[in-house]
Amino acid sequence: MSASASIALLEALAALDESIASLTTTLAQSEGRLQKIAAERATLVVAHQVLETRQHDEEVKKRALEDEVRNLGRQSEQARDRQFRVHKLVDVQTVEREREELQRLSRDKRTEVEHQDALLTSLRAETEALNVREKALDKEISGDGDRYASTAGEAQGARDGKIAERRAIETQLAPPLLRKYDQVRERRGTALAKAFGGRCNSCQMALPPTFFQKLRRDAIIDQCPSCQRLIYAANP
Ligand SMILES: [Zn+2]
């Protein structure tokens, strides 16, 4: 096979490899996004459960506090009834102090109930925020999720096509040249370079003048002495 025919095949190969690499990236991104949404959704479910348990516990605490307030109210009423029944001044004063103490305790407990209410309100707001985020994610999963999946599907199909095209070219290239191409590509990412203006256009290193002249004169494929890419003259 002539060098120019090999060059044409190598160029087609390089273009295919670029497409395959870009499709592989698209595929990974689509799959990555889907996995990220699913992971966030799972985290939210756990957070939701934790929050629900906490809310339940705090509601139980609130009811206990309200019971205490009622209890203290009853005790206070009983003390008042007792106050009417006692006659000695010292006893009246004792009961009076007792009532005041009960009323103070009752005020404190009511304050605690208010704090508990505020806490529950903020927990409910947190739950609501989680619900909103969950709904948004569900929408993303059902809408964008399908879109990501179809992007991934398309990328997969296109990539399979490009890989098949590559196989067809592989069979036409001389095996040692293909091996060399693949070896360099694996190491450098790309395997082709053009000699232009006395330089390798890939690594930008100056080529030995005799080497450069030979590439132009004989229109052959060689390797860049610096980057080892397969190199040929851009305009022999
Ligand atoms: Zn080079």
Tell me the β-bridge partners of 195. 200, 233
The mean-pLDDT minimum among 93-102, 130-139, 144-153 falls in: 144-153
Domains of the chain: 24-172 (1.10.287), 174-236 (no CATH)
| pLDDT, average across residues 178-193 | 96
Token digits of residue 85: 């029944």
Q: Which residues surround ligand 1, an ion (CB under 5 A)?
A: 193, 200, 202-203, 224, 226-227
Q: How far is the CA of 10 from the centre of ligand 1 (A)?
A: 16
User: Positive or negative, the Cα torsion across 40, 44, 45, 47?
Assistant: positive
Q: How far is the CA of 116 from the centre of ligand 1 (A)?
A: 72
Give the model's confidence band at 37: pLDDT under 50 very low, under 70 low, under 90 confident, else very high. Answer: confident
Q: How far is the CA of 229 from the centre of ligand 1 (A)?
A: 6
The Cα–Cα gap between 181 and 15 comes to 13
Q: Which amino acid makes up residue 128?
A: E
For residue 180, give the H/E element and its range.
helix 175-188
The Cα–Cα gap between 110 and 169 comes to 83
pLDDT of residue 221: 95
Residue 145 reports pLDDT greater than 80: no
pTM: 0.64
pLDDT of residue 86: 85
Please answer whether residues 65 and 112 qualify as being in contact, where contact means their C-beta atoms are separated by less than 8 angstroms.
yes
The owner of tokens 């096509």 is 161
> Sheet holding 192-196: strands in order across?
199-200, 192-196, 230-233, 222-223
- Residues near 91 by Cβ (< 8 Å), separated by ≥ 6? none
pLDDT of residue 215: 94
The Cα–Cα gap between 168 and 166 comes to 5
Crossing angle of the two packed helices 3-85 and 89-142, in degrees rounded to 10: 160
Q: What is the mean pLDDT of the chain?
A: 92
The Cα–Cα gap between 145 and 43 comes to 18
How many residues appear in the chain? 236
Residue 32 reports pLDDT greater than 90: no
Tell me the β-bridge partners of 230. 192, 223
pLDDT of residue 64: 95
Q: How far is the CA of 17 from the centre of ligand 1 (A)?
A: 19
Q: How far is the CA of 61 from the centre of ligand 1 (A)?
A: 75
Name the nearest CA neighbour of 20 among 226, 205, 212, 170: 170
Residue 171 reports pLDDT greater than 80: yes
Residue 194 reports pLDDT greater than 70: yes
Residue 5 reports pLDDT greater than 70: yes
Give the model's confidence band at 125: pLDDT under 50 very low, under 70 low, under 90 confident, else very high. Answer: very high
Give the model's confidence band at 236: pLDDT under 50 very low, under 70 low, under 90 confident, else very high. Answer: low
> Tens digit of pLDDT for each residue in 58-112?
999 999 999 999 999 999 999 888 888 888 888 888 988 999 999 999 999 999 9
Give the model's confidence band at 54: pLDDT under 50 very low, under 70 low, under 90 confident, else very high. Answer: very high
Q: How far is the CA of 206 from the centre of ligand 1 (A)?
A: 8
Crossing angle of the two packed helices 89-142 and 144-172, in degrees rounded to 10: 40
